[in-house]
Amino acid sequence: MSTVTKFFGSKVFDDRVMKSRLDEKIYNTLKKTIDENADLDISVANAVASAMKDWAVENGATHYTHWFQPLTGITAEKHDSFITPSPDGGVIMEFSGKELIKGEPDASSFPSGGIRATFEARGYTAWDPTSYAFIKGKTLCIPTAFCSYGGEALDKKTPLLRSMQALNIQALRILRLFGNDTVKCVKTSVGPEQEYFLITKEMYDARPDIRFTGRTLFGSKPPKGQEMDDHYFGVIKPKVAEYMEDLNNELWELGIFAKTEHNEVAPAQHELAPIYTTTNIATDHNQLTMEIMQKAAAKHGLVCLLHEKPFAGVNGSGKHNNWSISTDTGINLLSPGETPYENAQFLLFLCAVIKAVDDYQDLLRIAVATAGNDHRLGANEAPPAVVSMFLGDELNAILDAIENDTPYISAGKKKMKLGVSVLPKFTRDTTDRNRTSPFAFTGNKFEFRMLGSSNSIACANIMLNAAVAESLKIYADRLEGAEDFETALHEMIKKTIKDHKRIIFNGNGYDDGWIKEATEQRGLLNYRTTADCMPHLLDKKNVDMLTSHKVYSEIELRSREEIMLENYCKTVIIEANTMVDMAKCSYAPAIEKYTAVIAKNAALKKQLDASVPCGYETGIVKRLSVLTDRIAKSADELENEVLKLSDAENIDSEAYMIRDNVLGKMAELRAAVDEAETITSKEFWPFPSYADILFSVR
């Protein structure tokens, strides 16, 4: 047995631990709760709490916390010790089922979108038994949901669990129609690929924009970036390899299936990909992964940047959400099988996803909307803001045949001919991959590529699960009342293809012609910014769908629209204020100082020899003087635009003002500073350059 297999999951109260420490009856009851969404009994909770506490204490834990995911986008925890006073003046270590099931953090101190007033403080955390508890440091972390005193969800986990339950209910209805009575539960699974940048702590400390906002707000293009394509899958530098090794070990101890690691396209950019697991567990794991990435980096004198676009002009970082649907019996419902044309069950679930993505393309765009991701979507490393689907040649041909009632002739699987006899022969996949597609079919799953690297994957999967549940509900309602199931099934698949084929696009998503075709000919949505898309969360069709499946209440949706727009506005305002401060207090004085030195040198030359032309110096002084004036003017204008935001009538108006006025002024200020950087001596420039930062890890 290898070392990894010995310590993998050693800090997790997982199924192996529960089976060994719980009474068989208690264990079986808990498993039923986890696997079949059955109700949890307090007697089971008490037994689990006792075993969990004993295991945690044996592994060095002194405290426990209800670990939850509020609407801040990060995790939260309040630590309580296990100690209870004993009559003899000492302490005993206790932990009850009541303490396991319920905690009580301050609900008014987290974003609530108006659900909680400042004086209304009570909120609750509730144990999620479907996600394993784990030890972090000396604290037992218990994954929980977080709700207000009135029962409204104040977190990302509760709606995620609701969406999984909604999809489970509707998927079971469909499977029963196909005569499958053995499946007890249908769950979605996810494998989120995580991209990130690594820079040295020295560079991080020297750049206030990175420290305050997570990204560079200024910076001219370095002499070398990613033009040579030499970083992608290149040899991993020793310092980065050491970091990755420590990161893997910490993740493996927590039962996180870290699998693949490699250099990404941009200098200093890397990726980690896990093995797929159930969606709510994958969400917990990804939040932990981001936290541990940053913690592990500090041990190596590095800083892990998770911002979607930390450096303009080079690739940003995304998070590819590989999503699929499976039964508790191990059947992947999105697996085409050997003969997908004859696999009616697969075709129905495929059509459900197609319909969902087309009907709720706005919700999918909203689910990935942040100020940071607005910089990435549509760039050359990310899909456009227009949502479309890639299915590949084989599935496209199958859908065309069904729509037109024509025979489908399979091209069959082809052997790859590489022209070298010693190389192994292998079968080519039936479809290529499309890295420009926002939502691509990749064999037995869909890859939703629009998520930003710092995003929680919860939001995207909530909307995806709910939208597919709605499609399946519509199908089940029709098929359950059909006189002839086979005929009704065929007609429904055919109708879905005809009604929703506009969302299917197998071409180049980076092509400007596609954006024009998508919006003008196909009628697809193109919400370029968070300000454009977020208000549509409250469109009637979206509210009706999400409330009907009990994923959100209307008040919860209204709160989230407000919270997300408020976060967008705050993010951009912090960036704008940082730019003004850096421009006025650092860049302008540095440029002015260098200009004075050049002017003085020119004057000295003239004193020594009046015939010396001094053309170089004169040109530099003129250009820098103009740029200094532009910087001062742009900084003042940006500052004034930020001040005007206080006059906004509501958060929607403030977001539109930022989109229409503030962002443009930020771009103008940056352009002036970046131009000045290209002609200012490095010894006078106040901050490290892109070249310094991107190539700082050796």
- Judge contact between 170 and 93, C-beta under 8 A: no
Contact 276, 30 (CB under 8 A): no
Q: Which residue has the tokens 């991701």?
A: 373
Segment 212-222, tens digit of pLDDT: 999 999 999 98
Is the pLDDT reported for residue 93 higher than 80? no
* Euclidean distance between CA atoms 535 and 234, whole angstroms: 43
Contacts of residue 23, defined as CB under 8 A and 6 or more positions apart, other chains included, come to: 47
pLDDT at 424: 59
SS3 content of the chain, % helix, strand, coil (to 5): 50, 15, 35
Q: Amino acid letter at 90? A: G
Alpha helix segments (H runs only) across 265-412: 279-299, 344-359, 361-367, 371-374, 393-404
Domains and CATH numbers, the chain: 3-155 (3.10.20.70), 163-217+230-552 (3.30.590.10), 568-694 (1.20.120.1560)
What are the residues whose beta carbons fall under 8 Å from the beta carbon of 519, sequence distance 6 or more? 386, 525, 526
Q: Quick one: pLDDT band at residue 426, thresholds 50, 70, 90? A: very low
Q: CB atoms < 10 A from the CB of 205, how many?
A: 12
Specify the range with the lowest mean pLDDT, choosing from 128-137, 209-218, 433-442, 586-595: 433-442
Q: Are 341 and 276 in contact (CB under 8 A)?
A: no
User: What is the rounded average pLDDT of the residues 524-540?
Assistant: 96
pLDDT band of 1, cuts 50, 70, 90? very low
What pLDDT score does 413 carry?
57
- Given a cut of 70, whether residue 374 has pLDDT beyond it is yes
**Contact (CB, 8 A) for 262 and 270:** yes
Q: CA 520 to CA 517: how far, in whole Å?
A: 5
- What is the pLDDT at residue 698? 85
Asked if pLDDT for residue 283 goes beyond 80, the answer is: yes
Lowest average pLDDT, out of 142-146, 250-254, 318-322, 375-379, goes to 375-379
Higher pLDDT pick, 228 / 654: 654
Q: Number of C-alpha atoms within 13 angstroms, CB side, residue 482?
A: 17
Position 613 pLDDT exceeds 80? no
Judged against a pLDDT cut of 80, whether residue 275 lies above it is answered with: yes
Q: Which residues pair with 393 in a beta bridge?
A: none
60-69, 121-130, 355-364: the lowest-pLDDT one = 121-130
Query: Which DSSP state fits 113?
Result: T
Kindly report the number of other CB atoms within 10 A of residue 246's CB atom. Answer: 16
Q: Which helix (H) or strand (E) holds 270?
A: strand 269-274
pLDDT at 459: 96
Percent of the chain with pLDDT over 70: 93
pLDDT band at residue 102 under the 50/70/90 scheme: confident
Cβ–Cβ under 8 Å, residues 316 and 308: yes
Indicate the DSSP class of residue 545: H
**pLDDT at residue 88, as a whole number:** 59
- What is the average pLDDT score of the chain? 91
Nearest alpha carbon to residue 296 among 344, 257, 352, 244: 244
Task: Return the residue matching tokens 């030359």.
Answer: 605
CB atoms within 10 A of CB 202: 14
Give residue 338's pLDDT band: very low, low, confident or very high (50, 70, 90): confident
> Exposed, middle or buried: residue 237 (CB in 10 Å: 0-12, 13-18, 19+)?
middle
Long-range contacts: 19-23, Cβ < 8 Å, 24+? Answer: 21/51, 21/54, 21/55, 22/47, 22/48, 22/51, 23/47
pLDDT band at 431 (very low <50, low <70, confident <90, very high): low
Rounded CA separation 404/400 (Å): 6
Q: Count Cβ atoms below 10 Å from residue 264 Cβ, excluding itself.
A: 22
Assign 33 a pLDDT band (cuts: 50, 70, 90).
confident
Q: Residue 601's CB: how many other CB atoms inside 10 A?
A: 15
3 state SS of 197: strand
Write out pLDDT tens, residues 397-425.
889 888 888 877 765 555 555 555 555 55
Least confident of 227-231, 479-483, 484-488: 227-231
Q: How confident is the model at residue 693 (pLDDT cuts 50, 70, 90)?
A: very high
